[in-house]
Amino acid sequence: MKSLLLLIEGDDELRPVVKELQATPVPGTQNPFEGTLSNKTRIIAVTTGVGPEQAYRVTANAIRQFNPDYVLSAGTCGALVQGLEVSDWVVTGDVRAIGQAHQQWSTLETLRDNDETAAPRLGQALKQTPRWHQGRLVTVADEPIHCAMAKAEIATLHDAIAVDMESYGIARAAVENGLPWVVARVVVDTPALPLPDLGAMNVHTGRPPLSGIAKYVLMNPFAGPQRLHGLWSLVQTYAFHLVRILPEFTDGSRVSAPREECQLV
């Protein structure tokens, strides 16, 4: 593999990855960063912003601009089922776009990459630290899922283990360009420990409003700062492990000519 396009939701998630990669801004741009692994693989790291449509547009543009060999959806996700804990990873080549709550979480489209070895190879590169799980990830478009009952319903309806807001859009752009893709995301919330509701995230940066953060801390003066610091630390650790495993993963990825190997369900 000569080059890998790494898509991640927001600036706060991108920053530690850029630091670990020792990446530098691509000349003439503000968002994309470029780094080189020890095996000479070129890594282009780009923030997608929030939501599948935004992620699709950014990914499609980045593919046209940088012509990568491989696409990786990175960042955070939420666990839908028991057994996944905060700081565990979800690695998968099976994503499904689903409708909103008023649409009964209906299936919109399922994408599966035919390289069934990609997710296990990512997991094996982690060497059990942190723990990793392979299974379907669903992507929602409207807002994060905070309710444990909604998570349980989605998990049952779609045989899914995790949820995010970008991976379907990233995978869709990869499929349309004949590129292999995989998801490698870290769990930041579970049914028993939901994410703090900090308000609507900025669609471009992925950041919640400062007023939402301030309100959360005021309402939770003891647990609030600890929870927010825990999330910050989790993202730093995720970036370290992500960059650590990329050389082994890219060495083992056999990339052929553009192909139509992804299954659409």
* Segment 152-168, tens digit of pLDDT: 999 999 999 999 999 99
10-34: per-residue pLDDT in tens?
999 999 999 999 999 998 766 799 9
- Of 31-35, 91-95, 186-190, 193-197, minimum mean pLDDT range: 193-197
Chain CA centroid to CA 27, Å: 25
pLDDT in tens, 118-152: 999 998 899 878 999 999 999 998 788 888 999 99
Q: Give residue 199's pLDDT.
A: 79
> What structural domains and CATH numbers belong to the chain?
3-264 (3.40.50.1580)
- The torsion angles phi and psi of 87, rounded to 5 degrees, stand at 90, -10
Residue type, 13: E
For position 129, what pLDDT does the model report? 81
Q: Across-strand partners of 35?
A: 43
Instruction: Give the CA diameter of the chain.
Output: 55
Q: How many whole angstroms separate alpha carbon 219 and alpha carbon 213?
A: 10
Q: pTM of whole model > 0.85?
A: yes
Choice among 78-87, 90-99, 179-188, 216-225 with the minimum mean pLDDT: 216-225
Q: Is the dihedral of CA 17, 22, 26, 29 positive or negative?
A: positive
If pLDDT is split at 50, 70 and 90, which confidence band does 252 have?
confident
Reported as a pLDDT band with limits 50, 70 and 90, residue 264 is: low
Q: Dump pLDDT digits (tens) for 77-126.
A: 999 999 999 999 999 999 999 998 878 889 999 999 988 889 999 988 99
